[in-house]
């Protein structure tokens, strides 16, 4: 099996380089050209040529425009990367009869209410990043290609920056931290996403009827505030020397950002767990593992 991985150095892309390797011949690209191949999603024509040259059996797209606030002022670029480039992948996958794996977001939803979102719930993004990611989903579905779209949330990896590492840094520098307590979601490890991706690819290869749109997030739900409390408590219990004395819960309205954020980011993962007989561990287990890696350095 020949697999093309795009966005190999992002949080999820990095973990996919590991998890996809035993599945088959892996060609992993980032935005820089190598040997006439380019995975630059801002250049859909070159991307099309690259896919045709490789002719993969599976395309895994971990690349995306993910700068949520900047997307408000760079809408055209976000649309090109998250929408048009995804459409190119989908049309090429359809022509090759290849399987396309793509990642999307809880930000396609409005964030209203407290019920976990199901795949069949209506979408209504509150920011431009969400609109651009929705355009990518719609292009895939319209192309008729074989696909797995995973909507996920609050992604972290041991490599690169993430919320927990930011909290740890701030907790070393400041005595008080203000953290939003009315946005609720599930911190989801890039390693879990990568492992689930491989398990589902294998099953879809033998049972194509399983292809489709799925919600993929760790179990449970937490606010950013309680997530921060978990991180700080763990660091303190494990010998971390921190300056922080108090964590202060604040509402989203007290922390204005260029892009609005949905309050309810809970994703209902029943369809994924049921169709693929999978268990999704609680968010705490993955976060604790990541904290161990970060604090042991
Ligand atoms: P990252 O931001 O860590 O990685 C995105 C990758 O895309 C980076 O390697 C980046 O490369 C690459 N990229 C950006 N622009 C281009 C381009 N023009 N051409 C090629 N590559 C490009 O994202 P994650 O790994 O966290 O996200 C993976 C997927 O999950 C995405 O689809 C995202 O929308 C989705 N998602 C993420 C969430 C999160 O909390 N992070 C939440 C919900 C969904 P470079 O480093 O060179 O810029």
Name all domains of the chain by residue range, CATH numbers in brackets.
2-161+187-220+266-281 (3.40.50.720)
Nearest protein CA to atom 36 of ligand 1, as residue: 105
| 58 CB within 6 A, ligand 1 | no
Q: Using an 8 Å Cβ cutoff, are 216 and 151 in contact?
A: yes
What is the atom index within ligand 1 of the atom nearest the CA of 190? 25
Q: Does the reported pTM lie above 0.95?
A: yes
Q: Which of 2, 13, 104, 15 is nearest to 55 (CA)?
A: 2
Is 151 near ligand 1, meaning CB less than 6 Å away?
no
Low-confidence ranges of the chain (pLDDT < 70): 297
The answer to whether 152 and 186 are in contact (CB under 8 A) is no
| Dihedral, 239, 241, 246, 252 alpha carbons, nearest 10 | -90
Tell the residue nearest (CA) to atom 38 of ligand 1: 155
Sign of the C-alpha dihedral computed for residues 294, 103, 219 and 197 taken in this order: negative
Tell me if 17 CB under 6 Å of ligand 1.
Answer: no
The separation between CA 134 and the C-alpha centre of its own chain, rounded to angstroms, equals: 13
Q: Ligand 1 pocket: which of 50, 64, 100, 265 to mutate (most atoms <8 Å of CB)? A: 64
> Best mutation site among 6, 11, 104 for ligand 1, i.e. most ligand atoms within 8 A of its Cβ?
11
Q: Is 63 in the pocket of ligand 1 (CB under 6 A)?
A: yes
Q: How far apart are CA 124 and CA 127, in angstroms?
A: 9
Supply the DSSP symbol for 160.
S
Question: Is 129 designated active site?
Answer: yes
Residue whose CA is closest, atom 32 of ligand 1? 103
Q: Considering the chain, what percentage of its residues have pLDDT values greater than 90?
A: 95
Q: Which residues neighbour 222 within 8 Å (Cβ) at sequence distance 6 or greater?
A: 184, 185, 186, 187, 230, 283
* pLDDT for residue 297: 66
- For strand 184-185 and strand 222-223, is the pairing parallel, antiparallel, or unpaired? antiparallel
* Chain segment 9-66, per-residue pLDDT in tens: 999 999 999 999 999 999 999 999 999 899 999 999 999 999 999 999 999 999 999 9
Answer yes or no: is the C-beta of 265 below 6 A from any ligand 1 atom: no
H or E, element range at 213? strand 212-215
Pairing status of strand 2-6 against strand 146-152: unpaired
Q: What are phi and psi of 12, to 5 degrees?
A: -75, -40
Atom of ligand 1 nearest to the CA of 13: 25
Please tell me which residue in 129, 156, 214, 225 is annotated as part of the active site: 129
Task: Please report the atom of ligand 1 found closest to the CA of residue 80.
Answer: 18
On the CB side of 231, how many CA atoms lie within 13 Å of its CA? 30
Angle, alpha carbons 247-249-255 (nearest 5°) = 110
């Amino acid at each position: 099996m020949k697999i093309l991985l795009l966005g190999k150095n992002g949080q999820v892309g990095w973990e996919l380089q590991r998890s996809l390797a035993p599945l088959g011949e892996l060609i992993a690209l980032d935005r820089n050209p190598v040997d006439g191949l380019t995975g630059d999603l801002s250049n859909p024509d070159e991307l099309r040529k690259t896919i045709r040259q490789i002719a993969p059996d599976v395309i895994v797209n971990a690349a995306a425009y993910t700068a949520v606030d900047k997307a408000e002022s760079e809408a055209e670029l976000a649309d090109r990367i998250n929408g048009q480039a995804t459409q190119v992948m989908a049309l090429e996958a359809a022509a090759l009869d290849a399987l396309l794996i793509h990642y999307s977001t809880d930000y396609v939803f409005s964030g209203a209410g407290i019920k976990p979102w199901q795949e069949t719930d209506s979408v209504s993004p509150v920011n431009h990043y969400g609109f651009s990611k929705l355009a990518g989903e719609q292009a895939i579905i319209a192309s008729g290609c074989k696909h797995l779209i995973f909507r996920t949330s609050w992604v972290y990896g041991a490599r690169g920056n993430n919320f927990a590492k930011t909290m740890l840094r701030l907790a070393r520098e400041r005595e008080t931290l203000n953290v939003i307590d009315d946005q609720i979601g599930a911190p989801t490890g890039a390693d879990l996403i990568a492992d689930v991706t491989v398990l589902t690819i294998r099953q879809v290869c033998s049972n194509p009827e399983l292809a489709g749109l799925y919600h993929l997030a760790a179990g449970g739900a937490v606010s950013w505030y309680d997530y921060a409390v978990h991180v700080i408590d763990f660091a303190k219990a494990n010998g971390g020397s921190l300056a922080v004395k108090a964590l202060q819960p604040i509402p989203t309205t007290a922390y204005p950002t260029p892009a609005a954020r949905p309050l309810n980011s809970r994703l209902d993962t029943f369809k994924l767990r049921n169709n693929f007989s999978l268990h999704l561990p609680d968010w705490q287990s993955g976060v604790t593992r990541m904290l161990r890696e970060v604090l042991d350095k």
